[in-house]
Amino acid sequence: MPAVTVENPLSLPRVSAPADARQRPVLHVATAPQGLEGEGFPVRRAFAGIDYRYLDPFIMMDQMGEVEYAPGEPKGTPWHPHRGFETVTYMIDGIMNHRDSHGGGGTITDGDTQWMTAGSGLLHIEAPPEALVVSGGLFHGLQLWVNLPAKDKMMAPRYQDIGGGKVKLLSSADGGALLRVIAGEIDGHQGPGVTHTPITMLHVSLTPGAQLTLPWPPGFNALAYAMAGRGTAGTEGRPFRSGQSVVFGDGDAVTVRADASQESRSPDFEVVLLGGRPIGEPMAHYGPFVMNTHVELAQAFDDFRAGRLGSVPADEA
């Protein structure tokens, strides 16, 4: 980790917050429980235990792996439905195929992002390619669920495939942090992801002892999740480490810092920074559907059972 990097971060545009920016305080640090998803691949539930008022418009995020599969072990998900939200799958290491009942699909590998707007609904499968199943190998990524406002929940499904080479690469002022902007804007620099709900998503690698302070939209919430390593959040220096999420309060800037000493298996502190403009609508979430009311949830299940979300292609049925 990571898949997309540069030899000299100082060759990139540099970003920093104004010296008088109002720092966001740390409100909460949560530890992600571990579990299994799909056909049995390991995940960490990054937002478990965090009040939804601090997450909106985000619903959930899983860290998938990091796991080194032996031959025959790689796993994915079976065919399953979605409606009412978007999935953002960021593949850091490894490879995954995806396919849906509308004929969409593709392959994402090291540093790629697959952005699926489920909208009115579809059936979807994510599976390792046969070659990876035979050989085994490293598997590591994230999947983020982003809610859609009521007016967009029944829009037509769509995909964005964002190759690793398309992410916006930036550096901190001293070159100690490498930023990969997947979506949203940081200090005037725009990521490639096109969102219905305004969000910012970036993957940051901080070298030991490095500090990063970024301007952050006042109307957005702010979250940090550590994928590897250890460090602190906020100017108050609240400790957090791999598998922990940070909830920030109000302000104009966020700060994270890497400890001077890191684990040998992860030389840098790897952090995902997330923010979004809260939708502020009621949310009804059950399984693969995210709607505004329980009546709409019941309709989603009825539509799925009646085949109105699509059907598994004949060559895979």
- Residue 173: partners with Cβ closer than 8 Å, 6 or more residues away: 14, 15, 16
Helix (H, G, I), strand (E, B) or coil at 240: strand
Output the tens digit of pLDDT for each of the chain's 317 residues: 667 888 888 899 999 999 999 999 999 999 999 988 877 778 999 999 999 999 999 999 999 988 888 898 888 888 999 999 999 999 999 898 988 888 777 899 999 999 999 999 999 998 888 888 889 988 899 999 999 999 999 999 988 889 999 999 999 999 999 999 999 999 999 999 988 889 999 999 999 999 999 999 999 999 999 999 999 999 999 999 999 999 999 999 999 999 999 988 889 999 999 999 999 999 999 999 999 999 999 999 999 999 999 988 766 65
pLDDT at 40: 76
pLDDT at 317: 55
- What DSSP state is assigned to residue 68? E
- Listing from the earlier edge strand, what are the strands of the sheet with 211-215? 211-215, 253-258, 230-233, 238-241
What is the distance between the alpha carbons of residues 20 and 168, in angstroms, rounded to a whole number? 26
74 exposure class (CB count in 10 Å sphere: 0-12, 13-18, 19+): buried
pLDDT at 314: 66
| β-bridge partners, 157 | none
- Residue 195 vs residues 81, 92, 186: alpha-carbon distances, Å: 21, 21, 15
